Amino acid sequence: MKNRTKLPNIYLGIIMTLMYLPIVLIVIYSFNESKLTSVWGGFSLKWYEQLFKDREMMEAIKNSIILAFSSCILSAIIGTIGAVGLARMNFKTKGMIEYLSNIPIMIPEIILGMVFLAFFSFINLPKGMLTLIIAHTTFCIPYILMMVKARLVGIDKSLAEAAKDLGASEIRAFFDITLPLIMPAVLSGSLLAFAMSLDDVVISIFVTGPKVTTLPIKIYTQMKFGVTPEINALCAIMLVVTIGLILVSTRIGRKKI
């Protein structure tokens, strides 16, 4: 019996080791004095210093932040409006519309990237920051839409109806009653969308132009020449930022109405 109870713990330990050991090693070697990852030369922050002195890398970081922030704002507006609209629909096609709205996160990224590339080429839209924002907004919308839609299920509809009975317009009732109640879901979905946009590389490769390089693309191109301690430092920073955004998103999403 004791051996049976230990098996799940051993299995869990193996899975956790395989998942998180590479991440831990990247963070550790980002502080390595030596340029060789096979040799530990002592603790140092010089690779972080070199990272912040790299102009091309800083430009890529700036582009990624602008892209993630822009797509996050646009997807939050569209996703929130879409979720509220779906919640008020009573058509027979409501289920199909909900399914279609979630397709961007179901399609493999490489296929979605090829679709965007073909579409932008068809309409002769020059690839650059605009095409990146459109593509990222598209695959970020479902994250916000699903969270807001789930939040709307637990909201008492009589609150908005009472506001209308007291003379509030449809828009006024939305901004004074509905929006404050769903705001935790909007913020949670927005943070998750920001993290997804910040980390995307596959779709970005297909829709970016020669003058615009995002941070994931910059890392990918440098990885072809081997992993350097500077890349380890950058990966460690991105890891901390991404985990922070996801934790904040989860914490906000758990707030009760």
User: What contacts 139, CB < 8 A, 6 or more positions away?
Assistant: 104, 105, 109, 112, 196, 200, 203
Domains of the chain: 54-253 (1.10.3720.10)
The pLDDT tens digits of the residues spanning 186-225 come to: 888 888 888 888 888 889 999 998 888 888 888 888 777 6
CA distance 62 to 47: 19
The pLDDT tens digits of the residues spanning 60-87 come to: 889 999 999 999 999 999 999 888 888 7
CA distance 160 to 88: 12
pTM over the 0.85 mark? no
Check residue 132 and give its pLDDT: 93
Check residue 249 and give its pLDDT: 67
CA distance 86 to 94: 7
Q: Of 246 and 80, which is predicted with more confidence?
A: 80
Enumerate the β-bridge partners of residue 32. 43
Mean pLDDT over the full length of the chain:
81
Q: How many CB atoms lie within 10 A of CB 191?
A: 24
Q: Would you say residue 237 has pLDDT above 70?
A: yes
Please report, rounded to a whole number, the percentage of residues in the chain having pLDDT higher than 70. Answer: 90
Q: Would you say residue 105 has pLDDT above 60?
A: yes
**Nearest alpha-carbon partner for 131 in 77, 81, 67:** 67
CA distance 131 to 142: 18
Check residue 67 and give its pLDDT: 93
CA distance 110 to 204: 10
CA distance 67 to 130: 9
